[in-house]
Amino acid sequence: MDQSKTPYFQALLEYVDAGVIPFHTPGHQQGLGMDRAFREFVGDNICAIDLTPMPGIDDLLQPTESLKEAQELAAEAYGADRTFFLINGSTSGNQCMMMAAVNPGEKIAVPRNSHKSMLGGLVMSGARPIYMQPEVDEELHMDLTVTPQTIARTLEEHPDLVAVYIVNPTYYGITTDIEAIVELVHAAGKLLLVDEAWGPHFHFHPALPISATAAGADLCINSTHKMLSAFSQCAMLHQKGDRVRVDRLKAVLKMLLSTSPNLPMVASLDVARKQMATEGPALLSQTIELAQETRRRLNQIEGLYCFGKEIQGRKGVFDLDPTKIAVTVKALGYTGYEASELLRRRYNIQVELADLFNVVALFTIGTSRDAADRFVAAFEEMARDDRPVDIFAPSGILERRLKKGSYRLPKIAPMRMLPRDAFLADTEFVSFADSRGRICAETISPYPPGIPVISPGEEITGEIIEYLKLELKAGVRIQGPYDDELRKIRVVQASAAGGASLGA
C-alpha cells in the first residue's frame, strides 16, 4: 500500500472543497454558528472538517470507504492484521479488549499496576482478575514490569485462565520480555492482550523496544496521542492472528464507540500513521539522540539521577524506552511533586508526571533542543547549593518519611469480591481513616500515573490507609473517589459484604 496517502483526511478535504450546503450535525455547521472568539482562536479549517459520518465521509462504526483504507494502511504500518481507530483513548481500548476477550466469571491474569481503565474493563466484562505482582524498585519508588517467570507461574497455577493481559511499557518506559511472554501464553493456548498505550512509536525505530504487534500479541492498544502526533484521545487497537473472535471485537467496538466521532481527531490518526510510516525512523532518531544527550547532562548534575541502560537486566527491566526521562530528585530533598511545582512556577516547565521521588519528562518528535536546554538549566539551578532563596524550600516531608522508612509501596490488598460485584453492590460512606477492613467500592488512583492503590472489591488495609495519607500530604492528585479529599470513602455495605465470596 502507498503509505504516503492519507485517504481519510483527503475525504474530508474533498467535502470542504465541494462547498456542500450543510443541514447536518455538528450544530456549528462548519463554524458558522460557533462562538466567534473561540472560532477565531481555533481557526476556520478545523471547523470546516468537523463533520459527521455521511456518504463520501465514511463511518467509524461501519467503515467501507476511505476510513477502511486508512485503517488498513495503519494495520500494514504496524504489522497488524486489523487496526481500529479509537476516539476515547486507550481507556476505551482497554474496555474493548476486555469485553472482546473474556466473559463474566472467566479468569484473566492482570498486573496489579495496570491503569484504572483496565479495571473499567473488568467491571464491564465481569471477568475474574488474577492479579500478578510486578517487580518493584524500592530505591526509585517505582513499579517495574511483570516478568515471564511470573506469567509462567500464573499460567501453571490457573490452567483455566482465558487470557493474560500485560502493560508494556510502564508509564516510566520500562518493558518486559514480551517475546518470551507471547511464546508462553500461546503455548498454553491463551490470548495475550497488551496495553501498549505508551509505546505507539516502538514499531518505527530499531533502537526502541520491540512492539507488541511485532512480538505477536493477539490484541494491543496504542495511545497515538501520547507519544505521536495525533490529537488527544486518539488511539489505535491492533489485532493479529486468528485467536481473537473478530466478530465479537467488532460488535464491542460498535457498542462502545460514539456514533458521532470527532472527525478532525479521526483524520489526525490517519496523518500520524503516514508521518510514522514515511518519516518515523528519521524523526525518532533525532528524538532519541536528544533524550540520550539530555539524560547524560542531567546525570552530571550532583544530586540528580536519571536511570538508563545500567538498570537493564535487573529483574523486571528487560528493555527501556529512552524517550522518557525519569529524574529522581530525592537526593535534593524535594519530593517529585515539589520539584514539579517548582519547575512550573519558577521555570515555566510542565512535566508529564510527578511521584514521591521522581518527575518524568516525555521527549517526543515535538521536543525542541531549546526546550531540552531549558529543562537542564532549570535543574542546574535547582541543584545549586546557593540556589535563589525565593524558590520554595523542600518541605522536609520526604526526609522525615525516609528516616521513618514509611515510604514503601503498599502490598496488593486482598481481593474479597469481584470488581464488578463490588462496583454494583449497595454501598455506604465511611470515614477513610476508619475504613480498615472494609471492602472498597471505588477506584483510588494517584493521577498521573492512574494506577489504583485500591480498587473495587479489595479490602482496605492499614498499610494502604497510611500510604494514601502520605501521598495526599505530599500533594498528589487523587482520581476516582467520590470525595475529592478522601475524607470519606465508598465501601460495600456490611450486609452485602458479609456474604462476599469469590468462589473457587
Ligand X SMILES: Cc1ncc(COP(=O)(O)O)c(C=O)c1O
Residues that bind ligand X (CB under 6 A): 89-91, 94, 115, 117, 167, 171, 195, 197-198, 223, 235, 449-450
Q: Return the number of the residue (31 or 316) whose C-beta is nearest ligand X.
A: 316
Q: What separation in angstroms does the CA of 54 have from each of 7, 65, 168?
A: 15, 11, 37
Q: Return the number of the residue (161 or 237) whose C-beta is nearest ligand X.
A: 237
Query: d(Cα 466, Cα 452) in Å, to the nearest integer?
Result: 15
Helix axes 7-18, 263-299, angle to 10 degrees: 130
Nearest distance, CB of residue 284 and ligand X, angstroms: 20
Q: Return the number of the residue (367 or 445) whose C-beta is nearest ligand X.
A: 445
Residue nearest to ligand X (CB): 89
Q: What residue type is 101 in one-letter code?
A: A
Nearest distance, CB of residue 128 and ligand X, angstroms: 21
Work out the number of other CB atoms within 10 angstroms of the CB of residue 255: 12
Q: Return the number of the residue (7 or 419) whose C-beta is nearest ligand X.
A: 419
Nearest distance, CB of residue 29 and ligand X, angstroms: 29
Burial 94-116 (b: 16+ CB within 10 A, else e): bbbbbbbbbeeeebbbbbbbbbb
Q: Return the number of the residue (326 or 332) whose C-beta is nearest ligand X.
A: 326
Query: d(Cα 400, Cα 403) in Å, to the nearest integer?
Result: 5
Phi and psi, residue 351, nearest 5°: -90, 170
Nearest distance, CB of residue 54 and ligand X, angstroms: 27
Pick from 126, 36, 53: which is nearest to 87 by CA?
A: 53
Q: Return the number of the residue (58 or 195) whose C-beta is nearest ligand X.
A: 195
SS3 177: coil
Nearest distance, CB of residue 99 and ligand X, angstroms: 15
- Those residues whose C-beta lies under 8 Å from the C-beta of residue 156, and which sit 6 or more positions away, are none
Q: Return the number of the residue (213 or 435) whose C-beta is nearest ligand X.
A: 213
Nearest distance, CB of residue 201 and ligand X, angstroms: 14
Nearest distance, CB of residue 91 and ligand X, angstroms: 3
Cell of residue 294, nine digits:
539530555
Q: Return the number of the residue (273 or 416) whose C-beta is nearest ligand X.
A: 273
Nearest distance, CB of residue 397 and ligand X, angstroms: 26
Q: Return the number of the residue (277 or 362) whose C-beta is nearest ligand X.
A: 362
Q: What residue type is 466 in one-letter code?
A: E
From first CA to last CA, the distance across the chain in angstroms is: 50
Nearest distance, CB of residue 431 and ligand X, angstroms: 30
SS3 244: coil
Burial 417-448 (b: 16+ CB within 10 A, else e): bbbbbbbbbebeebebeebeebbbbbbbbbeb
